[in-house]
Amino acid sequence: MRIVSTWSFGLAANEAAWPHLVAGKALDAVEAACIYAEMAPDIDSVGFGGLPDSSGRVSLDGCVMLSPSCCGGVAGVRTHLHPVSVARRVMERTPHLLLVGQDADDFADREGFARAELLAPGAREAFERWRVEGGVIDQSRDGASRSLPADEARWRHHDTIGCLALDARGTLAGACSTSGTPYKIPGRVGDSPIIGQGLYVEPAVGAATATGTGELIAGICGAFLVVESMRRGATPLEAVRDAVLRVAASYRLEPQHQAVFLALSKDGTFAHAALRPGYRTSVMDLAGPRAVEADFIALPEAPTESGAHAR
């Protein structure tokens, strides 16, 4: 029995999920973890508190997965707080896999989800500052205001939650929720709501999720790649390490780029690899809660820039 979530803020999300895991409900567990993150205003790339796009409007993406035949996602949701819950309805109540934009919000309305304002006051202020300062995202400065380890605070705008769980009955489930990259071009969708990119679960093998710069993760079909490597015999650590190295080999990397892969095998073994330092996975199991540094870092040297970058 184990739940793993991206970043240190996942510790509290895991706690919210734990009772469901004990009850043998892995899907409820990963949904509960994401709901927790979506409601926390200090997590600034998920749900309420998420930074808006370049038009000043927040849009949310999310997905859930039990197996290739049992998964769902939504992208570009603007008026509902819990994309993961809407994604679960897509999975459970439609013959489809992915709904997007206004039509996804309309679907959520029909399913009875309450509408919500997604732009938190702090996110609005950050957006106004970003506009005035000419599009510079100073992650190091912003991060100093939060109670995160300094190396992790550098990546504070990468707060996407990806969550994998193995429950008391041995069922695997995964979920992913994000507001995407800060100040993105309206309409942009990253890896997080796309099955095979930000999340993949193959019950006979294991599960994988990702966080970081979606364009890097999506281009290599990251989560699928990790699970498929495991299906072909790689250990979870070999699988996540190879995926990160594949990212490093496939793109011209910039200082603000990060990519992390997290895997949980069907026997409960987990492994995680990051492109750059400053990433932790939140783990909860019978040994208790803990935040663990990545097993493998592709570019361990500190980047030369503080993390400030222009878009």
Residue 111 CB: number of other CB atoms within 10 A?
16
Which residues are identified as catalytic?
A: 160
Choose between 160 and 281: whose C-beta lies nearer to ligand SD4.
Answer: 160
Is residue 222 near ligand SD4 by the rule CB under 6 A? Answer: no
Q: Are 161 and 10 in contact (CB under 8 A)?
A: yes
Choose between 10 and 18: whose C-beta lies nearer to ligand SD4.
Answer: 10
Q: Are 196 and 77 in contact (CB under 8 A)?
A: no
Query: Could you say which of 139, 160, 209, 265 contacts ligand SD4 (CB under 6 A)?
Result: 160
CA distance 279 to 203: 27
Smallest separation, CB 78 to ligand SD4 (Å): 15
Three-class secondary structure of residue 213 per DSSP: coil
Query: Could you say which of 181, 209, 229, 256 contacts ligand SD4 (CB under 6 A)?
Result: 181
Is residue 178 near ligand SD4 by the rule CB under 6 A? Answer: yes
CA distance 159 to 282: 12
Choose between 167 and 191: whose C-beta lies nearer to ligand SD4.
Answer: 191
Choose between 266 and 309: whose C-beta lies nearer to ligand SD4.
Answer: 309
Is residue 192 near ligand SD4 by the rule CB under 6 A? Answer: yes
Is residue 229 near ligand SD4 by the rule CB under 6 A? Answer: no
Q: Are 77 and 86 in contact (CB under 8 A)?
A: yes
* Cα angle value 57/38/177 (rounded, 5°): 85
The region of 16-24, 120-128, 173-181, 263-271 touching ligand SD4 under the rule CB under 6 A is 173-181
E runs forming strands in the chain = 2-6, 60-67, 70-77, 98-100, 136-137, 161-166, 172-178, 199-202, 206-212, 259-265, 270-274, 280-285, 288-293, 296-297, 309-310
Is residue 257 near ligand SD4 by the rule CB under 6 A? Answer: no
CA distance 254 to 216: 11
The region of 12-20, 78-86, 188-196, 247-255 touching ligand SD4 under the rule CB under 6 A is 188-196
The region of 20-28, 68-76, 97-105, 178-186 touching ligand SD4 under the rule CB under 6 A is 178-186
Choose between 1 and 274: whose C-beta lies nearer to ligand SD4.
Answer: 274
Is residue 211 near ligand SD4 by the rule CB under 6 A? Answer: yes
Cα dihedral 248/253/257/260 (nearest 10): 0
Is residue 73 near ligand SD4 by the rule CB under 6 A? Answer: no
Closest residue (Cβ) to ligand SD4? 214
Query: Could you say which of 31, 105, 191, 202 contacts ligand SD4 (CB under 6 A)?
Result: 191
Choose between 105 and 159: whose C-beta lies nearer to ligand SD4.
Answer: 159
Query: Could you say which of 88, 158, 241, 272 contacts ligand SD4 (CB under 6 A)?
Result: 158
Is residue 282 near ligand SD4 by the rule CB under 6 A? Answer: no
CA distance 197 to 9: 22
Is residue 45 near ligand SD4 by the rule CB under 6 A? Answer: yes
DSSP string for 4-63: EEESTTHHHHHHHHHHHHHTT-HHHHHHHHHHHHHH-TT-TTSSTT----TTS---EEEE
Tell me which residue of 181, 175, 169 sits closest to 137, measured CA to CA.
181
Is residue 47 near ligand SD4 by the rule CB under 6 A? Answer: no
Q: Which residues bind ligand SD4 (CB under 6 A)?
A: 45, 158-160, 178, 180-181, 190-192, 211-214
